[in-house]
Every structure is written in C-alpha cells, then in structure tokens.
C-alpha cells in the first residue's frame, strides 16, 4: 500500500544491477526527499541511466530494493511520476500537438483532458505558439522542451530527466534549467542526471557516481568541505607538464582545466617549491602559481581517483 505524501519520495537500499559480467550498480544506498532538485553526477557509463530506469520500474535490480513514492511496485507508482529518458523518441513527422496527443493517449487520458493540459504545459515551456510545427523542424532546445512537456503531461509528483541538455547550446540549457526551477518552486521534485559540473551546482543535493558506486552525497558546500587536498593553479603550460610533475614529492595529481593546470597536493608550499625546481630543470619560464579553492570537478576527479 502506498504511503500518503512521503517525505522520502525515492529511495534505493543496497541496490545492485549486473549486465552480464558488468556490474552497473554496486550497493547503491540513497534517499531523495520531496521538493529537492537532486543530481546524479558522473561520466558516461557511471550508472546514472541504470538508476533512472530502476526507479521507473523499466528494469529491476538484481539485489536490494528501490521504492518510488513510498511503493516498491514502481510500475504502479510511476503513474504519478514523469520520465524524460536520454534518447527521448519524438515523432519528427508529427506536429508538436500531435506528439502531445499521442503520448497523452498512451497515458490513457481522455482527449479533452489532454488538450486542456497540453495548452497549459506548452504555454509554460514556450511552445504553444509552435504547436502546429513538425517536431523535426524544431531546434535542439525546443525538442527538449517538448520532451519536458510530455514528461509533465500526467501532472507528476516527481520528474526524472536523464541528461536532458546533452547536445543543447548554452542559451537553451539556461532556459531549460530556468523552467526546471520554476516547476520545482511549485512543488515538483526533480531528479536529473548530468555530466556537466555547472549543472551539478544547480542541484539542491547531488551524488557523485563512478563505476556503479556512489563516491559521495551532499550539497555543494558539504561536498567541497570534504575535499582532501590543497589546490594550486598553474597559469599556463603545455600537456608535457603533467609528465614533468608525475611522481614528484607532494604532487598528487595534475589536470588541465582550459589553458591552466590544477595541481593537487598534500602540502601547498612544498608543492610550490617542487614546481619551481621542475621548471628550472627543463629551462622553462615559470608560470604564475597561486592557491585556489576547489570546484566540484576537482572534487569528482579526486574521489574518482581514490576509488580507482
């Protein structure tokens, strides 16, 4: 029997999932609360899509338990959930409104109810004026808004979106996230997966996932407070610098961020002296070295390196 308005809207308890010899999820424990924007953060193959598909009852875990809206019968519970998969299949030779009507009928909703809901939701996402346009003639950002509208057709309590802005231009990404914030402020719980750390910042809480394992969970502040190293920024340099620094005392790692290097160290002053020595050895001018605060990408790289 389903609980009424549970504080815990989606939970995973020791969930494992195997695809042949590949362990896609390995003992995942997680509770997502009503009203959150929760992020699944990790690279391709981390297990984000598998977590979404298990939540929606599309696939079952091989071990452990997942409950959605207080019920372990997720196929029953998903009538109150919306889902926008990574490869959302729009019918490109049909109009925006025809796509909405088709998916509404698949949800088992009466045509009149679908039409009324469609006008409201398409207006909200900015597509009502394009309702007669073929989906194939929409821009990438508009296609994602249409997928979002379809995910919201059944007035869900929770919406799961799997990498919804992949391949979308930066302006369309900002517009899409502005819409997510609007719906969240109106009470919709949102779970979104993304490989983008700037989008991870926008989530209330997030988990770092790699190779099917949760590396850490928390708010941005909580996660960054657990960064285990000091960080130096090296003003510029070529790719050879990583090799120069590899294995040197107090240099844990060196990674390029744009045209700069982030030097991970357990002792900032010793690392600074080491870098100066290395550049002298190679007869190369020394770039600016300065201490910086870590970002989520630095944190993920550190956690993933420890896990590996």
| pLDDT grade for 224, boundaries at 50, 70 and 90 | very high
Residue 23: predicted pLDDT: 96
Residue 108 has pLDDT above 60, yes or no: yes
| pLDDT grade for 307, boundaries at 50, 70 and 90 | low
| pLDDT grade for 2, boundaries at 50, 70 and 90 | very low
Strands (E), the chain: 8-19, 22-33, 37-41, 63-68, 81-84, 158-162, 189-194, 205-210, 213-218, 230-234, 251-257, 260-265, 289-291
Residue 304 has pLDDT above 90, yes or no: no
- Structural domains of the chain ordered from first start: 8-223 (3.40.50.300), 228-305 (3.30.70)
208, 54 contact by CB (below 8 A): no
Question: Measured between alpha carbons, how far is 205 from 165 in angstroms, rounded to an integer?
Answer: 19
Per-residue model confidence as pLDDT tens digits over 17-64: 999 999 999 999 999 999 999 999 999 999 999 999 999 999 999 999
Residue 156 has pLDDT above 90, yes or no: yes
Kindly report the pTM of this predicted structure. 0.88
Q: b or e along 210-243 (b: 16 or more beta carbons within 10 Å of the residue's beta carbon)?
A: bbbbbbebeebeebeeebebbbbebeebeeebbe
Among 263, 206, 216, which Cα is nearest to 236's?
263
Q: Which residue has the higher pLDDT, 71 or 24?
A: 24
Q: Average pLDDT for residues 279-290, to the nearest whole number?
A: 92
Per-residue model confidence as pLDDT tens digits over 118-138: 999 999 999 999 999 999 999
Question: Measured between alpha carbons, how far is 64 from 13 in angstroms, rounded to an integer?
Answer: 6
């Amino acid at each position: 029997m389903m609980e009424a308005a549970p504080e815990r809207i989606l939970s995973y308890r020791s969930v494992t999932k195997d695809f042949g010899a590949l362990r896609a999820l390995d003992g995942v424990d997680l509770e997502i609360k009503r009203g959150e924007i929760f992020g699944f953060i990790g690279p391709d193959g981390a297990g984000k899509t598998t977590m979404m598909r298990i939540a929606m009852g599309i696939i079952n875990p091989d071990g452990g338990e997942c409950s959605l809206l207080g019920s372990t019968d997720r196929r029953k519970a998903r009538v109150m959930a919306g889902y926008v998969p990574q490869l959302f299949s729009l019918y490109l030779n049909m109009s925006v409104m025809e796509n909405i009507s088709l998916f509404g009928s698949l949800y088992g909703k009466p045509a009149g109810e679908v039409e009324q809901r469609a006008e409201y939701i398409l207006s909200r996402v900015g597509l009502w004026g394009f309702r007669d346009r073929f989906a194939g003639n929409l821009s990438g950002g508009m296609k994602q808004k249409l997928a979002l509208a379809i995910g919201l057709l059944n007035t869900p309590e929770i919406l799961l979106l799997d990498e919804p802005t992949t391949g979308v231009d930066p302006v369309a990404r900002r517009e899409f996230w502005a819409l997510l914030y609007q719906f969240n402020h109106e009470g919709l719980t949102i779970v979104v997966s993304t490989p983008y750390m700037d989008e991870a910042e926008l989530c209330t809480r997030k988990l770092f996932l790699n190779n099917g394992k949760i590396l850490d969970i928390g708010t941005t502040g909580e996660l960054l407070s657990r960064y285990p190293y000091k960080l130096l920024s090296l003003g510029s340099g070529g790719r050879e610098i990583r090799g120069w620094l590899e294995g040197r005392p107090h240099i844990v790692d060196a990674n390029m961020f744009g045209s700069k290097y982030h030097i991970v160290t357990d002792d900032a002053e010793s690392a600074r002296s080491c870098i100066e020595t290395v550049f002298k050895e190679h007869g190369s001018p020394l770039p600016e070295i300065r201490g910086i605060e870590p970002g989520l990408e630095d944190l993920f790289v550190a956690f993933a390196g420890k896990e590996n």
